[in-house]
Amino acid sequence: MEYGFSLQLRSNRAILAPPCPSFSGRKCLLFPAKSSLKTGSQIHPLLSFSVDISNSTACKAVRSATSVETTEVTELNWDNLGFGLVPTDYMYVMKCSSDGIFTNGELKKFGPIELNPSAGVLNYGQGLFEGLKAYRKADGSILLFRPEENAMRMIDGAARMCMPAPTVEQFVDAVKMTVLANNRWVPPTGKGSLYVRPLLMGSGPVLGLAPAPEYTFLIFVSPVGNYFKEGLSPINLIVENEYHRATPGGTGGVKTIGNYASVLKAQKIAKEKGYSDVLYLDAVHKRYLEEVSSCNIFVVKGNVISTPEIKGTILPGITRKSIMDVAQGQGFQVEERAVSVEELLNADEVFCTGTAVVVSPVGSITYLGKRVEYGNSGVGVVSQQLYSALTSLQMGLAEDHLGWTVQLN
């Protein structure tokens, strides 16, 4: 089957038409050639071509047409890349109205978005976000790590927040297109990753407390280095016993935006005292571990690795889930259960997991003025072992027998 595509420029965005069968009726997208991807460039040359997609996906068609982009190198100091926003070239936007069906997603030039002052996300916090990473392999190809898990978690979170959500296929397709469009911003192998941030928000206007009449799904990306300035070096946590991240029956188990605003106060106080972050206890007994501001927590004792069970107040982290599987595969006994603060203080080793940090060893815990150090404040053996195993999979340095990675090109 031969399709003729023409690339058109509309409001500084490239659009490839007509609809492509492999994307269930949504428009295929094409990105400008590398000559137009210079930072600050306003030039978007027009292209037209034909491509046979009878036995391929739309991503392959786009990749074939834009392969010249892969040769350009973005001028960044990759060796000193922190975890902060670096404006890239494109973002993905898809909307749905009250019918709950998302259609006609498209790539737009990265930049500010327009929202009604009465948008549901601005007035009532009706919003979710996800986070995942793209890594560049030594051969120049790009890997995503378990994007379908992020899609399913967004669907679960949307149900809790009374929002429609993109399907798993729509979510993964959109992530692929956004990463490919920003190919030149994926760091070289071993220099970091491209952080992918999908957002789902009530963008329609609403004055009374109610679900919004319109929703926007948006993805932007940024090259990043380590989340904590310490990198894989141990971080220092303080156990919070006044503020709580989540309560039973609340939204702590979904990745809604309000969960993160609520931890800023305690986190700010902790960082002013020299701590890296805050570890929260449960709101009922004030004794059992929940999670760090944006990470899950693990406690190691002998050959047993324990982590708080998912019971509605703890985010079901994808890195958490992956680490548990990797640890079991390496012979550790992994337990999901209530973990007391006393067990934490008597542990052999403690580490955090999350998309941003991957695995972050904990060098010390401070609780009610008492400081406990682990492994002479060095990187624990278990933390190092699991970090190496997971990052080797994510970066394509080890063979993926689990089918967790998705190669884009």
Surface-to-core class of residue 374, CB atoms within 10 Å of its CB (0-12 exposed, 13-18 middle, 19+ buried): buried
List phi, psi (to 5°) of 379: -75, 125
Non-local CB neighbours of 108 within 8 Å, separated by 6+ positions: 11, 12, 13, 90, 91, 92, 93
Are 74 and 112 contacting, i.e. CB atoms less than 8 angstroms apart?
Answer: no
Residue type, 201: M
CA atoms within 13 Å, Cβ hemisphere of 57:
11
Are 226 and 191 contacting, i.e. CB atoms less than 8 angstroms apart?
Answer: no
d(C-alpha 169, C-alpha 1), whole Å:
23
Tokens of 74: 């973005």
List phi, psi (to 5°) of 3: -115, 135
Name the residue among 197, 157, 82, 119 with its Cα closest to residue 316. Answer: 157
Choice among 108, 133, 176, 255 that is catalytic: 255
Are 61 and 53 contacting, i.e. CB atoms less than 8 angstroms apart?
Answer: yes
d(C-alpha 374, C-alpha 379), whole Å:
9
Residue type, 406: V
Query: Is 137 marked active-site?
Result: no
Non-local CB neighbours of 264 within 8 Å, separated by 6+ positions: none
d(C-alpha 173, C-alpha 147), whole Å:
10
d(C-alpha 392, C-alpha 405), whole Å:
11
d(C-alpha 259, C-alpha 250), whole Å:
10
Tokens of 118: 């009465």
Task: State yes or no: cis peptide before 205, omega within 30 of 0.
Answer: no
Catalytic residues: 255
